[in-house]
Structure 1
């Protein structure tokens, strides 16, 4: 999961924007969103390092947090519920070039057996709990349109 840092932080040409929106974040970041909330966009993916699996997340938007107690990530779907704990207890949001936009990177530990369950699940939402804040993300779905002539 590679992110273009200039795209995550925004470019100087968009500094004059008034009000950051979900659409603006999605347009500014090259990666496909995993989930969206009212004020944040969740980018995520699975990764493996030395036989250990991680679910890496990057939250772009208004979330501005400094945590010493970690975070929890809960996947909610059709007959599916999986809760993960943050890999590190301490993390904090980074400022971006755009006023009011922050980047928060959190990795979550996941067992190999849960990876398979997650890949087969039909997800509806993703909940992140950090510092007594609950942020509910809806699973991002791309609606394809076709231009068919009659």
Structure 2
């Protein structure tokens, strides 16, 4: 899974910078990748990756989360008859500021077993939760609502 870093960090020519604070809609519009989950102040972008037989669930959290961790993070998935807890691949990571005021980008990779990959792909998720330091963020699964294009 590839993320466009320039889109994640925002561009200096971006017109979506909000004077009163960043919004979820602005983040979704600025980033060309499809969101995996949304919370009140953050958008979770995520995808599976495999390297040398090891599987990783890569996440990028864009929004208000600003954290520096030396003890890793946990990612929880809850769905219909499905629960999964993943541990961060690296204990140390740090949020980076973006060009958009009040917006941070936090990249965290989580280890995942191949059997859990298959279960996750077939699960109907209700929520995704990340716990890092004192932050406990609950994301709801992002659902795209297709709008019909009608000419006016």
TM-superposition CA deviations, 1:81-113 (whole Å, max 9, x none):
100000000000011011110000000000000
Q: Indicate the RMSD between aligned Cα atoms, in angstroms.
A: 1.4
Aligned residue in 2 for 1:8: 8
- Measure, in 2, the Cα distance between the counterparts of 1:147 and 1:34: 24
TM-superposition CA deviations, 1:102-146 (whole Å, max 9, x none):
000000000000001101100011000000211000000001133
Aligned residue in 1 for 2:46: 44
User: 1:148 deviation in Å?
Assistant: 7.1
- Measure, in 2, the Cα distance between the counterparts of 1:5 and 1:17: 20
- Measure, in 2, the Cα distance between the counterparts of 1:107 and 1:47: 10
Residue segments in structure 2 that go unaligned for 5+ positions in a row: none
Query: Under a length normalisation based on structure 2, what TM-score does the superposition of the two structures give?
Result: 0.94
> Where do 1:1-150 residues align within 5 Å?
1-14=1-14, 17-18=18-19, 19-147=21-149
Residue segments in structure 1 that go unaligned for 5+ positions in a row: none
- Measure, in 1, the Cα distance between the counterparts of 2:66 and 2:18: 19
- Measure, in 2, the Cα distance between the counterparts of 1:147 and 1:17: 27
- Measure, in 1, the Cα distance between the counterparts of 2:70 and 2:147: 44
- Structure 1 stretches of 4+ with a deviation exceeding 3 A read none
Query: Under a length normalisation based on structure 1, what TM-score does the superposition of the two structures give?
Result: 0.95
- Measure, in 2, the Cα distance between the counterparts of 1:125 and 1:88: 23
Alignment size in residue pairs: 149
